Amino acid sequence: MVTSYLNSQKHKDLGYLTAILNILNSLIVLNFGQINAISSVVSAIVDVILKEKEKIVPNPVLVHYTYLAYVALKMEGSESAAKLWPFFDEAAKKKLITYWKVTKLDAVSKTEETIISHIKDKSIPDLGLHSVKVYPHQVPTPNGNFYVINNFDNIDKEFEQKSLELTESSLVVPYKPDYLLEEGIWIEINGPQHYIRHLDAGIKQNAYSLEGFSAFKHEFVKRLGFTYLEIPFYRTKDSAERFAHNQLAEAKSKLSKGT
């Protein structure tokens, strides 16, 4: 039924293709951890993407959406990942690199800068933790090597100099940590755009939940083997600094106990 519906669309313009890619990524978000349960639907959508490749590749945003789906399917060990990989020829890779370079500029808010400075100058030395200094940071998984990037500004040069490659088993994580520790702690300082507010919860700090794609990022990062530390916007500056320090201390304690 899904295949016949997808193939019935006569005019597959960019709006239609954007919707198809959003549907695929939404299905992955909702079913992450159990993708095989919807394998036939995913496979049918991948067929459409491959058929419409010539219309998708000129648009860097659509190539990015396709890559988001691919890395999640690859992480899941889905058969559809192998099916989708041929999409990423040299032309598609160039568009993807262009998208990353333009959209992932290393812009930091004043609040984020203050919290990160506190983590670097106070929490890390006090707790005996260590910042990751060498990037790309390689994370081996059963389904391939994933590389974490801390700065996408020069990613085109990384590829030109072959210090970074994009292959079926060597993939760039499409998310940038706000800060990363050698102990495997991924730190995110999240603004209000990452949350959904519960309308009946008043002004309490627990009135917020991560929105869907931010929650997925959380799960994806955890699947890479990181401890995910989230510092939400609704903390005041001082309490955010204390919160970050306490969370780091708790994460270190759990890691040392192997829990």
Phi, psi (5° rounding) for residue 92? -65, -40
CA 1 to chain centre: 31
Q: Is the pLDDT of residue 246 over 50?
A: yes
pLDDT in tens, 86-124: 999 999 999 999 999 888 766 667 878 888 899 999 999
CA 84 to chain centre: 18
- Say how far apart CA 143 and CA 140 lie, in whole Å: 8
**Three-state SS at 227:** strand
- Contacts of residue 49, defined as CB under 8 A and 6 or more positions apart, other chains included, come to 20, 21, 24, 56, 66, 84, 87
pLDDT in tens, 166-182: 999 899 999 989 999 99
Q: Report pTM.
A: 0.86
